[in-house]
Amino acid sequence: MTRTNSNDMKKKLQIIGCLIVLVAMITGTGCKRQLDDYYVDPDKTTNPSIEKLFSSILENNRVRPQYYDMRTMTFLVTGAFAQTSILFNSENRYQQNMDYTEKFWNDFYTPSNQSNDPGAYNTGNGIMAQYRTMQRLFNLLPIDERDNFRIFMYAGRALLLDQTAQMIDLYGDIPFTEAGSLNVTSTIANAKFQDQKELYDTVLTGLKDVSNWLAAATLNTNAAASFATQDYLLGGSIDKWRRFVNSLRFRYLMRVSNVPDFEARVKTELQEILSNPIQYPLIDGAGVGDNYNPANTDVILYQYTNYTNTLSAAFTEVSAQAAPDYLLNTVMKPVNDPRIPFMFEKNVVKVGDVFVPNAEYRAMPNTYGNSQQSDSLKYYAIWDSTIYVYNNKLPGIYMSAPEVNFLKAEAFERWGLSGGTAQGSYELAVRQAIAFIYFLYNTNSTKYEALTQPSTATVDAFMQNAAIAYTGTTEEKQEKILTQKWLHFNILQSRQAWAEYRRTKYPKLNVPVAPTVGFELPPKRLLYPTSEVAYNTSYADVKAKDTRDTKVFWDVKE
């Protein structure tokens, strides 16, 4: 909950409790997870410090694919609504689980995971509270010491702005500027909801500021050494941070590109980025297609070295192991997509004492009723064991080269910008997306089926299929770009998949209608948590907009 003001003692205690959680997290009384050897464990420091807090905000199990977020958000909310995961057709299938989404909301504002199990419940990093504490500590520093820590503030700001944009994409207006103000100013004040359009301007302006600062930055010896130690995401590489930040700018500029008030700005800033790759480099895989290696170029959040859990329970508890209908049956199977055997298994049926594989990769139709789905599951394809179900090294994805190149293809096709071509960017993105799946396959040392990387000849033939080849009208080309990007996101980036589906209306999904009145279709946005409704007095300012059918401001395409 983001409230920071009340005359009620109970609410004051809850505010203090949030601060205690933060202090516990950075003073060692919280979890003692053995993290990667390449950085200093933020849980092992006895003094809260900017650099330790920075490492702590990198550690985000809402980005890593772990049990709780996958089980409660991807499989039941964002992935289900985007149809990158299957949703069982119960009567209340589109009704938001307020407990799960409230925990997601809280995990943005306050640190929560105090368990010894790195895959335990409440897995966010509370980036808002931690960054506000970084600001407070930075403001207390003597002027001559601030250059040692400025890099942490700018990189941390980029992470905060990225997560803020994703919260806006889910909810619309959110508390931001005044959220966590107690950590910065020691002033108790209401955290007001802010206008989503204005906040997106804040995100875009802030990311450009970070990009320009990084482009000009020369770190002193102390700052460079400290940042290299604490930055376990990108190893202290300023070049990679620049690429990451500019790629975030590209993503969120495209997110608002259908909004009339933003269109001119979007085209101007994207042209500036595309025309000046030295000033504004991107995560684009350096033009490498079939042999591109995400480990070298992309922003990947790996699992802990001692992490042993898998997603098997998350899949099976909600029967999410079934392959999504549209993804497999409509997009992939008709074109014999080379990713199919990596992403899915045919499943098996027991005949006597023998398990017999199904004859083909085929997803269960999403028109089946709930009981028919349960009875028929074994006859249809499921998510692959090696990559998804039993992979304790499956990483989280902040940004990938295929996403950036799909974004570039869309921009080139829509506006004819200079700096590349739509066809070149699209074809590169598809090739990279295939290579990306092979990269994920190799993160698991246990191979449940031995597969080899699709050859260049195989990919060449795939690219010539009429449904994949970059041909057709402008609208048909846009559909190919956006559908392939949605496929690339699949269940690992379900929040991006749902946001882009709402923005672009691609792919053209078949959405079954539920019988529950008022919940016949998926929502356009998430409802605010019950705690905000009950305790945040500024909720009155957004109450009229707090409906499941109210669109986020960038959702303007019919």
* Amino acid 125: pLDDT: 80
Percent of the chain with pLDDT over 70: 88
Q: Rg for the chain (alpha carbons), in Å?
A: 23
Both tokens assigned to 15: 């505010």
| Mean pLDDT in residue range 451-456 | 96
For residues 56-64, average pLDDT:
90
Cα-based distances in Å from 268 to 11, 262, 263: 46, 10, 9
Q: What is the mean pLDDT of the chain?
A: 89
Alpha helices in 231-377 (DSSP H): 238-255, 260-275, 294-297, 312-317, 325, 340-343, 370-376
Taking the C-alpha atoms of residue 370 and residue 93, their distance in angstroms, rounded to an integer, is 10
The reply to whether 207 falls in a domain is yes
DSSP 8-state code for residue 322: B
pLDDT confidence bin for 370, thresholds 50/70/90: confident
**Residue 326 scores a pLDDT above 50:** yes
Does residue 246 fall inside a structural domain?
Answer: yes
**Which domain range does residue 441 map to?**
50-306+391-545
What are 380's two structure tokens? 């249809």
Confidence of residue 210 (pLDDT cuts 50, 70, 90): very high
Give the mean pLDDT of 64-74: 94
The predicted pLDDT at position 111 comes to 81
**Between 150-171 and 127-140, two packed helices, what is the crossing angle to 10 degrees?**
150
> Which pLDDT belongs to residue 37?
33
Work out the pLDDT band at 184, boundaries 50, 70, 90: low
Q: How many CA atoms lie less than 13 Å away from 283 in the CB half-sphere?
A: 31
Mean pLDDT, to the nearest integer, of 453-469?
97
The answer to whether position 336 is within a domain reads no
**Amino acid identity, residue 64?**
R
Give a yes or no: residue 473 inside a domain.
Answer: yes
User: Does 297 fall in a domain?
Assistant: yes
For position 183, what pLDDT does the model report? Answer: 57
Phi, psi of 350 (to 5 degrees): -85, 120
What local confidence, expressed as pLDDT, does residue 371 receive?
A: 87
Domain count, the chain: 1
Q: How confident is the model at residue 22 (pLDDT cuts 50, 70, 90)?
A: very low
Cβ atoms of 159 and 57 closer than 8 Å: yes
46 pLDDT more than 90: no
% of the chain with per-residue pLDDT over 90: 81
Give the model confidence (pLDDT) of 261-308 as tens digits. 999 999 999 999 999 999 999 999 999 999 999 999 999 999 988 899
**Are 235 and 228 spatial neighbours (Cβ–Cβ below 8 Å)?**
yes
Q: Most confidently modeled of 44-58, 113-127, 526-540?
A: 526-540
When pLDDT is cut at 50, 70 and 90, the band that residue 172 belongs to is very high
Specify whether the CB–CB gap between 434 and 459 falls below 8 A.
Answer: yes
In a domain, 377, yes or no: no
CATH number at residue 483: 1.25.40.390
d(CA 556, CA 256): 9
Tell me, yes or no, whether 386 lies in a domain.
Answer: no
Taking the C-alpha atoms of residue 236 and residue 218, their distance in angstroms, rounded to an integer, is 13
Q: Flag whether 295 is in a domain.
A: yes
The gap between the terminal CA atoms of the chain, to the nearest Å, is 33
